Amino acid sequence: MSATFTERGQGSQIPPCDRGGHAWTFLVGAAMIEGLMWGKDRSNFNSGFPLTFGIFQTFYFTHPPFESNKYLPVVGTLATGISYLATPLITPFTIRYPMYRKYMIWFGWLTCIIALIGSSFATKLSHLIITQGLLYGLGFVVIYYPLLSMLNEWFVKRRGLAYGILFGAAGLCGLGLPFAIDKLLHTYGYVMTLRIYAVAIFVLVGPALPLLQNRLSPDISCFEETNPDTAIFAKVPFLSMTLSNVFQGLVFFLPGIYLPSYATSFASPRTNAPLLLSFLTLSQTLSQVVIGQLSDNYNPYLLLFLSTFLSSLCILVLWGFSNCLALLYVFAVLYGISAGGYSVLYSRFATHLTDNRATGLWLYSIFEFQRGIGNVIGGLAGGFLVVDEAGLVDGMYGLGKYMGVIAFAGIGMLTSSLGAMGHFWKGKQHNVM
């Protein structure tokens, strides 16, 4: 037998979903984790710790013991990538044993703190890869799927909005984080910065964990409901989403990783790097909330197309021809608006394809897994596409040095937009997960 959900006892009153103090309190606690520990989407460039790695990378690259190591991007992309790639392991456990969800969140929180402390002792790139990359990513994935499973209980009809607020509020929570990390790095070095942030997560996130309560009580019954409907994975709408998702994940994080170093190519003060990332986050925060709200009422394929196609134009035109800080700031805003809300659509694509709870969570985790594959490959490809030997050539597309990574990102987004063709094979639409 396997665990699914039933009401909290016979005759007991269940808190309402989509509204009420319990639902919004849960969302506040989830946003604290999202903003300070990750900044997920999965989209926030600088709200959570791993996604400030552009700042860390710039510092590591110019300071011993990691100076001039071209494989530094692997650390950041591994942390984000592993949170996606480990989803096939954590999702079935979350579905079958929901009574352990709160314990999983606490365990993952402690693992992330240990990872930060361990990375502060790193003296080789391999040390950073294991701690700041692998261990932190694993710790967070243990947190995230129990969190999403509980969120799906609290929000049903307004789930798109809830996910948008979750990702968007995380962006607002961490809007100043790049500046703080940059200041700490240049004042105390990477060792103390990592330890200070570990303490911050302990002090700030710890009190929010008790807010994460179940809406429904776990019970042992209905094995069928925990098994995914595997037939859906061979249908055209799912396959079209897969095409879009893999290519979007392949290139999405590249602007966030390379914009800080691109900005320093203009001999600008280092404060411009975190400012650019903050512009990305601020514009993307608005995008996530708006797209989340729209996804509750409009076809997700239309929103997918607009997000990826406009992102491609921003990369190929604005970033490619940027030769001053003003154009980079314009690109940061428009790219954040167009690309930032893409992953909010996952929750609505899941409900668009199925009304089975287990299948819906599986779909979400598969979308994350696909994105992770693209994320890791894209991070490695970016390191090879930046031409160190050629140096910077003022007036050339992408300043010469970044031409390859810009073209790669723009074409990847354009290919991702083709996934919108799945609309023409749409089957039965569903409204709940």
* Mean pLDDT, residues 234-244 taken together: 89
Residue 7 located in a structural domain: no
Helices 53-62 and 73-85: angle between axes, nearest 10 degrees: 150
Residue 5 located in a structural domain: no
User: In this structure, what CATH number is given to the domain that contains residue 81?
Assistant: 1.20.1250.20
Residue 311 located in a structural domain: yes
Lowest mean pLDDT among 20-29, 354-363, 414-423: 354-363
Residue 154 located in a structural domain: yes
Confidence (pLDDT) at 361? 82
Cα–Cα distance, 277 to 43 (Å, whole number)? 12
Q: Could you tell me the residue range of the domain that residue 402 belongs to?
A: 17-213+223-425
- pLDDT band at 307; cut points 50, 70, 90: very high
Residue 141 located in a structural domain: yes
Q: 136 and 81 in contact (C-beta within 8 Å)?
A: no
Residue type, 254: L
Question: Which own/partner contact pairs does 267-273 have at CB distance under 8 Å and 24+ positions apart?
Answer: 268/325, 270/58, 270/182, 270/186, 271/179, 271/182, 272/325, 273/54, 273/55, 273/58, 273/178, 273/182
* Mean pLDDT, residues 345-356 taken together: 84
pLDDT tens, residue by residue, 362-386? 888 888 888 878 777 887 787 778 7
Q: Is the pLDDT of residue 58 over 70?
A: yes
Across the chain, mean pLDDT equals: 81
Give bridge partners of residue 4 from the DSSP assignment.
219
pLDDT tens, residue by residue, 129-156? 899 888 998 998 899 889 988 998 889 8
Residue 317: left (phi > 0), alpha (psi -120 to 50), or beta? alpha
Cα–Cα distance, 295 to 251 (Å, whole number)? 23
Q: Is the pLDDT of residue 9 over 80?
A: no
Percent above pLDDT 90 for the chain: 23
Residue 431 located in a structural domain: no
Confidence (pLDDT) at 270? 57
How many secondary structure helices (H) and strands (E) does the chain include? 17, 2
pTM of the model: 0.74
Q: 379 and 253 in contact (C-beta within 8 Å)?
A: yes
Residue 298 located in a structural domain: yes
Residue 99 located in a structural domain: yes
- Does 224 or 190 have the greater pLDDT score? 190
Domain count, the chain: 1
The full length of the chain comes to: 433
Cα–Cα distance, 24 to 53 (Å, whole number)? 30
Lowest mean pLDDT among 285-294, 331-340, 408-417: 285-294
